[in-house]
Amino acid sequence: MRFESLKTVSNRKNRIKDNSTVSFTDLFNSNVFDDTAMRNFLSREAYESVSSSIHNGKTINRKMAEHVASGMKRWALSKGATHYTHWFQPLTGSTAEKHDSFFEPENGKAVEKFSANSLVQQEPDASSLPSGGLRNTFEARGYTAWDPSSPAFIYENTAGKTLCIPTVFVSYNGEALDYKTPLLKSVNLVDKAATEICKYFLKKVSSCTASLGIEQEYFLVDEALFQARPDLVMCGRTLVGHAPAKGQQMDDHYFGSIPDRVFNYMYDLEIEAAKLGIPLKTRHNEVAPGQYECAPMFEEVNLAIDHNQLLMDLMDDVAKRHHFRVLLHEKPFAGINGSGKHNNWSLITNTGVNLLSPGNDPNSNLLFLTIFINTIKALHDNSDIIRASIASASNDHRLGANEAPPAIISAFIGSKLTQVLNAFLADAVAEDKGEKKSINIDKIPEILRDNTDRNRTSPFAFTGNKFELRAVGSSTNSAQPMTALNSAVANQLIAFKIAVDSAVVKGVDQKKAIVLELKKVLKSAQNILFEGNNYSDEWAKEAKKRGLSNIKNTPESLKAYISNQAHDTFVKNGIFTQEELHARYEIMLEDYIKKIQIEGRILGELAYSFILPPSIQYLSNVAANVKTLKEAGIKVGTAQKELIESIGEHIDMVKTKTDQMIAARKKANTMIDSEKQAISYHYDVKESFDDIRYHIDKLEQLVDDKMWQLPKYRELLFTR
């Protein structure tokens, strides 16, 4: 497989395609039931009904839904769609769809049908999707329901064109079985909470939206080489492989010129993304060889997440056309940078004010500080929840590993804002002592935006007009961390408003009440601020002193979902019920267990069927050679003997350690309690992988290259 695949790769043609006739203006949104399409295909009444549902959350009545369905059908058919599907995001992490044909037989003819029922609600037989015990298989009913705030679109691939209707997915009793349902609730919650705060400052604000811009990192590997690696095919990452002589130490890949074949892929991806209205803006090489990034313009958070989920599907589809495989795993190659998905988040009013953009007059500065400080406090109080919201077996390789933000959640705000906050607090001291001093918020330099320094090691960095949650993994559905962040910030803003209002009732001037409360909030949250190198050992020690958590593995971090804080942030605000939280906890534990179980099985197979046979064969070749030489009376030095011993030892270790890992897995499998099982899978099974790998990677270096079966790192990373 290895040599055949290398031959296939070297025979590929890498010419830049002529794209001179492509017009992005024409392509953009061409497969989306967007505003223009709605105007063209809906009656005025139906159009207004959908519009007011999108902008004001008004429900669409049955009659109107019938009109919308009929218009949407005509539009989809005019585009050549043959099927439709409700498109949703179950807790598997990927998207789900079940296609129905528009055509139904009637009196011997095929008639196109698509009613309000088909648009608004469906009942997919979803008994095999995870529910964490919320739904027994015998009462398998789950419902998908239309989310008008995210436009319907047509997905094109080799199978044809399908009208996709974004939906939520809930159980018969209304419990959320997906990522979108709680996200939408959190969007509403933070809208209301932020709008209430805005009313102190800007009377015209009537709503706020959370905005999100998602940077997506990924690797590309040639499909032939990919197919020759069972670990990539089954786990999305390599479980073995010696580091290549040249990795990323030359720093020659980052922002370097994009290889032709990759460029063609990116261009095609951009075309497909444009048709779906995904506003891709940047593309470049990333730090590691074979690693790239793309990022869209930011959008409303729900839409941004739908677009990112869609983008990941597109990346996969388009890669196959180019004989590539896209790796979205957080750590496909040991010793090489992993992939993240930076979530750039902000709050923007309906009047167009970015609440995290410092203004240049005292009033807007105080509004900025209010949102800014309360966001820091929200992170402070919910750091374990945020950590849990990005936890997964694959992201564990990044968090705490020496390259991505650590598992310690902290915020970076830059030197300018640190000064501003310090001055702000210092004033409080003066004021408490009865000295009259103006509040030092009058001038936050306007240049701040471009002036903020960058800290690539921080998990939560302020970058001038937004916070960047950098700890999110490349394969994660951002709905989970964004639900947590929206809810945490909303919860804090609600508490803040209550405190301010009660001071005002007692006769304190409103502005003064805001300032005093902000100072209190800031003081209680300050220990989450960290400006230094997050990767350093000193920070781990310092964070411990500060009492910040450093939870390095998924099973232990997930407990935050069933903590008191989770109750305060989620349950009290109606984002999740306690049952839903428990269900999510179960699902995530199970996901962890299954992923490690699969990795364990594949590693076992690799060891026994791919590594040991050529190693043993090579060992016996060398031994036979020594024997022949001796028999011929030729003097044999120590080199071959040492080689034999060394290979022999590694062979023994691979077998012994693999057997131990398999035994540990069997033991873990007998555990009934999923929490204990996940923890056992972490400590007893997963922690032994590196040990096995060490000996395998040694063998890779010792055994004749001709006999080695698995494509090597240098081939996977540098051949294209």
> Which tokens hold the place of 585?
């906890």
**Does 308 participate in binding ligand ADP (rule CB under 6 A)?**
no
Task: Compute how many residues bind ligand ADP; rule: CB under 6 A.
Answer: 16
Which string of DSSP letters, residue by residue, matches 38-97?
HHHHS-HHHHHHHHHHHHH-PPPPHHHHHHHHHHHHHHHHHTT--EEEEEE-BTTSS-EE
Phi, psi of 280 (to 5 degrees): -60, 135
Cβ of residue 477: shortest distance to ligand ADP, in angstroms? 17
Two structure tokens written together for 257: 């010129």
**Using the rule CB under 6 A, which residue among 295, 303, 376, 441 binds ligand ADP?**
295
Part in contact with ligand ADP (CB under 6 A); list of ranges 46-54, 211-219, 224-232, 417-425: 211-219
Choosing from 377, 466, 497, 693, the residue that interacts with ligand ADP (CB under 6 A) is: 466
Taking 3-state DSSP, the helix, strand and coil percentages for the chain, each rounded to the nearest 5, stand at: 50, 15, 35
Q: Which stretch binds ligand ADP (CB under 6 A): 21-29, 206-214, 558-566, 627-635?
A: 206-214
Considering only residues 335 through 354, tell me which ones interact with Mg ion, judged by CB under 5 A. 342
Q: Which does 296 bind (CB under 5 to 8 A by kind): Mg ion, ligand ADP, none?
A: ligand ADP
Residue 292 makes contact with ligand ADP by CB under 6 A: no
Note whether 297 binds ligand ADP by CB under 6 A: yes
CA 615 vs CA 232, 329, 501: distances in Å: 22, 29, 74
Q: Specify the 3-state DSSP secondary structure of 549.
A: coil
Out of 33, 226, 265, 298, the only residue in the binding site for ligand ADP (CB under 6 A) is 298
Q: Which residue of this chain has its Cβ atom nearest to ligand ADP in the complex?
A: 213
* Nearer of residues 411 and 514 to ligand ADP, judged by Cβ: 411
Q: Which stretch binds ligand ADP (CB under 6 A): 162-170, 289-297, 412-420, 650-658?
A: 289-297
Distances (CA, A) of 269 to 216, 388, 403: 13, 32, 28
383 binds ligand ADP (CB under 6 A): no
Q: How many CB atoms lie within 10 A of CB 104?
A: 12
**Is residue 467 part of the contact set for ligand ADP (CB under 6 A)?**
no
CA 284 to CA 385: how far, in whole Å? Answer: 32
Nearest distance in Å: CB 296, ligand ADP = 6
The interaxial angle of helices 510-525 and 479-505, nearest 10 deg, is 130
Partner from Mg ion, ligand ADP, none binding residue 452, C-beta < 5-8 Å depending on class: none
Q: How far is CA 221 from CA 75, 216, 395, 681, 711, in A?
A: 38, 16, 20, 29, 11
Residue 156 near ligand ADP by CB under 6 A: no
Least distance in Å: CB of 213 to ligand ADP? 2
Contact between 466 and Mg ion per CB under 5 A: no
- Are 400 and 534 in contact by the 8 Å Cβ rule? The answer is no
Whichever of 148 and 296 has its CB closer to ligand ADP, that residue is: 296
Is 238 among the residues that bind ligand ADP (CB under 6 A)? no
354 is a site residue for ligand ADP (CB under 6 A)? yes
In angstroms, the CA 71 to CA 46 distance is: 9
> Which x/- pattern over 165-204 shows residues binding ligand ADP (rule: CB under 6 A)?
----------------------------------------
Please name which of 634, 633, 617 lies closest in space to residue 707, comparing C-alpha atoms.
617
The reply on whether position 340 binds ligand ADP by CB under 6 A is no
**3-state SS, residue 493:** helix
Q: Residue with structure tokens 């009109």?
A: 67
CA distance 141 to 145: 13
Q: Whose Cβ is closer to ligand ADP: residue 264's or residue 463's?
A: 463
Q: 286 or 586, CB closer to ligand ADP?
A: 286
Q: Which does 213 bind (CB under 5 to 8 A by kind): Mg ion, ligand ADP, none?
A: ligand ADP
Question: Measured from the CB atom, is 213 or 290 closer to Mg ion?
Answer: 213
Closest CA to 533 of 596, 459, 467, 611: 459
- Check residue 270 for interaction with ligand ADP (CB under 6 A): no
Q: Which amino acid is at 45?
A: E
Q: Residue 625 — φ and ψ, nearest 5°?
A: -65, -45
Q: Which is nearer to ligand ADP, 71 or 414 (CB)?
A: 414
| Binding of residue 465 to ligand ADP (CB under 6 A) | yes
Q: Is 277 in the site for ligand ADP (CB under 6 A)?
A: no
Given the rule CB under 6 A, which of 48-56, 292-300, 377-385, 395-403 is the region that contacts ligand ADP? 292-300
Q: Please, what is the minimum distance in Å from the beta carbon of residue 163 to ligand ADP? A: 28
Q: How would you label 182-206 residue by residue, b for 16+ Cβ within 10 Å and e otherwise?
A: bbbbbbbbbbebbbbbbebbbeebe
Question: Are 607 and 696 a contacting pair, CB within 8 Å?
Answer: yes
The answer to the question of residue 215 lying near ligand ADP (CB under 6 A) is yes
Residue ranges binding Mg ion (CB under 5 A): 342
Residue ranges binding ligand ADP (CB under 6 A): 211-213, 215, 295-298, 344-346, 354, 463, 465-466, 468
